Amino acid sequence: MSFDVVLDGLLTVEDHIKDIPLDVPYKAEQESLEKAKELFLKWLDIYRIYTNGYRQEIISRTDRYAIRMLSSFTSDLESQIRDVFEARIPGEAYLLIYDFFKPYRESPQYFVLSEYKEFKQTTIADLLTDKLKEMTVPRPSRGSANIDITIRDIKNRNIPVIRYDRAQFDNVLSWPLLLHEAFHCLYNLVGLNALAKDYPGIEWLKEALIDIYVVNYFGPAYALSLATYLQKYPHEKTISHLSFISRIFIALQYLERAQREKNLPPPVGQHVTDVFEYLKNVWDQHKEADPREVQEQVAKIYDGTEGKVKKLMSGATDPFAEFLSKTEKKRLEAFKKGGFEFAENQTLSISDVMEYFQAGIPAAADPRIIFNAFTSRKSQNMIHDPKTRIFIVESLKKWHLKNAWSEAKARSSQ
């Protein structure tokens, strides 16, 4: 074996990256994938520097081991590249996250979605750093400075990698879970980290605060997403992560309070009740696995932070209840004015979206409206219906095109 084997492998991966066609329909997705290409090519440069450096070192006794290690790293990188550029989740999932980031001026401009064994957020630089930590041979003296320079360059141009469970790529009602992972990029930006100071010593606090934020932003659809995913990881937890049953308990806190909201337009109040009863039934089946101490901590954290979270949220976007109330007000005003040239001129409600669904026509509505239209008791039986997935995907596409057309029209009139 020689280091030429590794260099040949790196060249093959490099050719693969350069030859990847980016024939995607959305500009945000295409630009993000282009940036990812550049960073993966720089990652390859680091492995190439290692390989050439080792080849010039006098370490013949460990050559074979170093060659096997670098070959393994190259294969692993090839796999990660496929997970990004051959991701099976439709490009419309990018639209959901892009819309989530849009109100925050300092949110990431680029990000990529990647297949994985679970929902998780990381970055290209973090993936590289984690891999380099596995190096079990000394860094070669030749090219060492160039390795540091390239790593810094990747970190300076870093982009988030939002991973989704590969088994859930076609379960469109699990997609709101992507927003939890995306919010890791906003955690400090919106000031949610400041709330953590009031609850020292709770390792999973960050995850709980993000769930509180996202469920208040996205509403019952996020709570339902948690429930649909619970069946896969019912009681799995780590020091830094709550179990899914504990996360269901967080969503129940939101739904319990939402039922008391007086400004929820119909039929949203009934939807909230439907999802609460559904989640309560799920939680009752698993609650024995949720320690009483954790339940008490979750309830205390929710009580102490809900108002503050909504206040932080209002700086960029409305909490779900307020958003729905304003949407319904705009809709009623639009109906009073009348004179629509086409249906999408009006602001669509949750009821409108369901009427469109029953008619088999995609609805150009806000993602929060689209997803929450499928939270009624009847809709919960349609979670795995391919028609639901097709309708939501096509509706996101139509909504995006409607916005793009409106923005282009506004620019041309200036």
- CA of 352: how far to CAs of 15, 271, 363, 390, in Å? 49, 14, 8, 17
* pLDDT tens-digit map of 280-291: 988 888 888 888
Confidence (pLDDT) at 186: 95
pLDDT reading at 230 higher than 90: no
Query: Which amino acid, 24?
Result: V
Residues 246 and 291 in one domain: yes
> Position of tokens 């901590």?
297
Residue from 190, 249, 216, 248 nearest 324 by CA? 216
Q: Using an 8 Å Cβ cutoff, are 308 and 212 in contact?
A: no
Q: How far apart are CA 252 and CA 211, in angstroms?
A: 11
**Under DSSP, is residue 375 helix (H, G, I), strand (E, B) or coil?**
coil
- Structurally, the chain folds into a number of domains equal to 2
Residue from 345, 343, 372 nearest 356 by CA? 343
Please identify, among 169, 186, 207, the residue that sits at the C-terminal boundary of a domain: 169
- Residue 287's contacts (CB-CB under 8 Å, 6 or more residues apart) are 245, 249
Residues 383 and 401 in one domain: yes
Residues 113 and 214 in one domain: no
Residues 156 and 88 in one domain: yes
- CA of 404: how far to CAs of 299, 318, 344, 399, 411, in Å? 42, 22, 13, 9, 11
Binned at pLDDT 50, 70 and 90, residue 231 comes out as low
Note the pTM of the prediction, 2 decimals: 0.92
Find the angle CA(154)-CA(182)-CA(228) to the nearest 5 degrees.
135
Confidence (pLDDT) at 62: 77
**Residue-number span of the structural domain to which 96 is assigned:** 3-169
Please identify, among 120, 146, 169, the residue that sits at the C-terminal boundary of a domain: 169
Residues 85 and 232 in one domain: no
Residues 245 and 376 in one domain: yes
pLDDT reading at 239 higher than 50: no
